[in-house]
Amino acid sequence: MIYLIALIIFSIPIILVIKPIITNEELIFINIDKEEDSMSLDEKKKSVFTTLAEIEFDYKMNKLSPKDYKKLSDYYRKKAALILKEEELMQENNNQTFSSIDDEIEKEISKYKKQKMGSHK
């Protein structure tokens, strides 16, 4: 009985290690999107570009196969492009906001000047 339990206990890790090799499973990405939701845009940008640099380094050190390098690199390059696009859109929105604020200030100044001119007559 004890040998059976020991056999089961030692078999499980061996099966878990050998199974991906035998079945030739694809690279699995960890879903970190939930974690990224709480990050600022600058933090996301820093994280993605750091990851891209690490992928490049690992590939040059022969720690990644060309297939894995291409998958990871493509994935994170797309993420980087989306972040840069989002950053650009935010900048455009800020510029539009500042422009509309400037317009409001100019309108208020001209109203004030008209009121001042009207009260001095």
SS3 25: coil
Return per-residue pLDDT of the chain as tens, 121 residues: 888 888 888 888 888 787 767 776 555 555 555 566 667 888 989 999 999 999 999 999 999 899 999 999 999 999 999 999 998 888 887 767 766 777 778 777 887 777 777 665 5
DSSP letter (8 states) at residue 26? P
**Do the Cβ atoms of 49 and 17 come closer than 8 Å?**
no
H-only helix segments in 24-65: 33-37, 41-60
pTM of the model: 0.52
